Chains A and B, each alone.
Chain A
Amino acid sequence: MKLSYSNPMVTYDEVVAAIESILEFSLNDGETDDVNLDTKYETGITTKVDTDMDNALRGAIDALRKAIDTSNKVIRNNLDRELRLITHNVIQMYADYTIGEEKRKLASSELFVERLRAASLTLEGTYSALKEEDIEDTDETSFHKLIKDAIINFPDYFKEELEIAKAFEVEQSIDVSDIEKHEEEPPIEEHSTEPPIETETKAKEEPREDEEEDNQEERFEVDMERIELLRKAIAKAEEKGNDKLVDMLEERLDKELGAEK
């Protein structure tokens, strides 16, 4: 729709509709300065349209239109000029009001946010744990921590993630204890140059054949349990499309499978 201002053969409502439409478009794009209205009406101080002026301009435009329709060319040119002036007044009035309305809405929205902010309660407890340093790292440990200590999650996602996190916890606890157990055991030195201090004690330390078999079986079960947990966690992560987690878990699984062989 062309700006009615350039065409005097319009109704009052068309003028108003056009100016509102142009202003709305322009304001929404944040480009009020680009509205080419010959004069800029950006003060926005008018809080309501002056109804008396509104009626007067409406009546004037209607009357001019009727006169233009029935006038000869010379008179019509003069009336056209008059109509442009009146139309310009309408534009001025509505532009100021419309821009003012937008400004007032924005101010009220900002006030709304400020008052909500001022009235806010504080989140207690673990909330404080959610700081940059806790979640910026993406290594395995902190990623695990991120899931476990994540403070805010959307519920559906959280449900799945919690299961994965729990699987990790179980897996980790097995892993850690397993490692610790091995670390506590003194290394077996087959070619030790140190003479045995007490032959009897050394004999005690050597595992019996059946005991060694039991330990191997136990370790195998633990390995299988860990692998199974990792597979479950991978399946869940894949379901959620969490590629990063999948990659990480697959890497772990590869390591475990390599170790098993």
Chain B
Amino acid sequence: METIKVIDVDGTQLEVELISVFENHNNKYLVYTKGERQKSGNLILYITRLTIKDDVYCLENITDDKEWDEVKKLMSRIINK
């Protein structure tokens, strides 16, 4: 298990588990979890676009529907390999 530390929008430092990093059309995406589970037991995953600004990694929300569709397709290809 690989953990990373992030600072959330409130300035709170969180330790999260890094699940995966993958690339699509020169964009990198990062999947992580805070260890939360749905009542059914499913692990809650977060996915964000990973960018580098001033030599620092930043997480950005995926807000574009087209991009999100592409990311879902890519994830689907990964898990169905």
For the complex, what is the distance from the CA of A68 to the CA of B42, rounded to whole Å? 45
A239 nearest CB across to chain B (Å): 11
List residues of chain B with CB within 8 A of the CB of A135. 5, 13
List residues of chain A with CB within 8 A of the CB of B56. 126, 149-151, 153, 158, 162
- Contact of B7 with A157 in the complex, beta carbons under 8 Å: yes
- Contact of A115 with B81 in the complex, beta carbons under 8 Å: yes
Q: 0/1 per residue, A84-111, Cβ < 8 Å to B?
A: 0000000000000000001001100111
- Contact of A116 with B75 in the complex, beta carbons under 8 Å: yes
- Contact of A121 with B7 in the complex, beta carbons under 8 Å: no
Cross-interface CB contact of A119 among B11, B58, B60, B81, cutoff 8 Å: B81
For the complex, what is the distance from the CA of A29 to the CA of B39, rounded to whole Å? 6
A152 contacts the other chain (Cβ, under 8 Å)?
A: yes
Tell me how many residue pairs across A and B have CB atoms closer than 8 Å: 110
- Contact of A161 with B7 in the complex, beta carbons under 8 Å: yes
A27 contacts the other chain (Cβ, under 8 Å)?
A: yes
Closest to A111 in B: B79
For the complex, what is the distance from the CA of A105 to the CA of B40, rounded to whole Å? 9
- Contact of B39 with A30 in the complex, beta carbons under 8 Å: yes
Cross-interface CB contact of B4 among A30, A105, A152, cutoff 8 Å: A152
List residues of chain B with CB within 8 A of the CB of A150. 7, 56
Cross-interface CB contact of A117 among B19, B23, B41, B75, cutoff 8 Å: B19
For the complex, what is the distance from the CA of A97 to the CA of B79, rounded to whole Å? 25
A220 contacts the other chain (Cβ, under 8 Å)?
A: no
Q: A116-B79, A117-B19, A155-B53 are in contact. List 20 more A-B contacts (CB 8 A).
A: A102-B40, A110-B43, A113-B19, A116-B78, A119-B78, A121-B21, A123-B21, A135-B5, A135-B13, A151-B56, A152-B7, A153-B57, A154-B7, A154-B9, A157-B10, A157-B11, A158-B7, A158-B58, A161-B11, A162-B56
Residues of B within 8 A of A (CB): 4-11, 13, 18-23, 28, 31, 33, 39-43, 45, 53-60, 75, 78-79, 81
Ordered nearest first, which 6 A-B pairs have the shortest CB separation?
A28-B39, A120-B20, A116-B20, A115-B79, A109-B42, A121-B21
Can you list 27 A-B contacts with CB-CB less than 8 angstroms, sorted by A residue number? A102-B40, A106-B41, A109-B41, A113-B45, A116-B22, A120-B18, A120-B19, A121-B28, A125-B55, A126-B56, A130-B5, A151-B4, A151-B5, A151-B56, A152-B6, A152-B58, A153-B6, A153-B7, A154-B7, A154-B8, A154-B9, A157-B7, A157-B8, A158-B58, A161-B7, A240-B11, A241-B10
